[in-house]
Amino acid sequence: MNAEDIKILYEKSMSYLDDLRKKSGTKKAGEEQQRIEREKRELYYKESIIPALKALYGFLSEVVEHLNYLEHDIYVNYNLGSIGRLKDLKQANYSLFVDSRDNMTQILLKFTCEKPTPKKFAIEGEKNVARISDYLKTTSLDFQQQNEYDRVHTIVSADFTVKAAIHVGFEFTADIDNSCISLKVKNFEEFGLKARRLQVADVKPEFMDHLARYITHEVDDFFGLDMEDDLKAKIQQNLQIEKQQRAAELQEIEKEAKIEQGKQNEENSNHSVFQILSKFKKD
């Protein structure tokens, strides 16, 4: 190998090394930018989100204290589709939890909607019983199911006893990555989950007053206030899909129930005709 060949080989190796250096430099620059952004988000969390959560916690602490002392008569109903409704459940037993007083990341407001007497009903048909049972499981309600079987151990009907007690939750969580506060509401006014993002600037006295009135059912438009259009659309879409699925399930249950009832009526009619013919032959 002569000097010219060695020079060419060296230049190629340096070209490859330069390429590696550039890629490493680009990666380091990206990592440095990510570190800077992360530190900005952490700083925003400490300087803005924590004070907002503390203000919200202080406000809700007083709301909970007064509501538990005053024992307001707040009664609500929950729809169970074709099963009917859970009526006149009293909203009470408010409690408030926080993960840390100093580095606060989560606030949880909980209360119950309940009454002493359970809801009882009977369902006929194996498929209907299975669908009702599955539906009740999606609501997280406590219920008992007493099945009745035929000779071949097929379910022909079931008696349901549903405990009229619903656990409601408002969960506020620091969303550090998105520099906001995440709110998730479970089983309030209806079964399921609602969610929205709160900007720190939203957490002001007017907002907190509206929140308290929403919790006590004095207003009902809380989730329509100041939400980002894309987030609002996504939430509404998910809720609509969930409602449509439940409606379809309940319609199928009603359809099966009508078919089952039609079969039963036909059997009763045939039995009556047989009795008449038997009597006619005897006469």
Query: Which carries the bigger pLDDT value, residue 24 or residue 118?
Result: 118
Map residue 182 onto helix, strand or coil.
Answer: strand
Query: Which of 34-48, 147-161, 193-207, 211-225 has the least mean pLDDT?
Result: 211-225
For residues 139, 143, 145, 146, the Cα torsion angle rounded to the nearest 10 degrees is: -160
Query: Which of 42-46, 136-140, 186-190, 246-250 has the least mean pLDDT?
Result: 246-250
Query: Mean per-residue pLDDT for 186-205?
Result: 92
Query: Which carries the bigger pLDDT value, residue 222 or residue 166?
Result: 166
Delimit the domains of the chain by residue range: 48-267
Task: Report residue 238 as tokens.
Answer: 């998910």
Query: Mean per-residue pLDDT for 116-121?
Result: 95
Q: What is the pLDDT of residue 241?
A: 65
Query: Mean per-residue pLDDT for 204-209?
Result: 93
The one-letter amino acid code at 38 reads R
pLDDT in tens, 252-273: 666 766 676 666 666 655 555 4
pLDDT in tens, 29-83: 888 888 888 899 999 999 999 999 999 999 999 999 999 999 989 999 999 988 8
Map residue 264 onto helix, strand or coil.
Answer: helix
Q: Closest Cα partner for 166 from 34, 259, 256, 76?
A: 76
The percent of residues in the chain predicted with pLDDT above 70, rounded, is 74
Strands 75-79 and 85-98, how do they pair? antiparallel
Judge whether 140 and 167 are in contact, CB under 8 Å.
Answer: yes
Please determine, for residue 228, whether its predicted confidence score (pLDDT) is greater than 50.
Answer: no
CA 135 to chain centre: 15
Where is 119: in which H helix or E strand?
strand 119-124
Query: Which carries the bigger pLDDT value, residue 159 or residue 278?
Result: 159
What are the strands, taking DSSP E only, across 125-249? 143-149, 155-162, 165-175, 180-186, 193-198
Q: What is the pLDDT of residue 13?
A: 62
**Adjacent-strand bridge partners of 58:** none
- For residue 47, with 0-12 CB atoms within 10 Å meaning exposed, 13-18 middle and 19 or more buried, which class applies? exposed
Query: Mean per-residue pLDDT for 82-105?
Result: 94
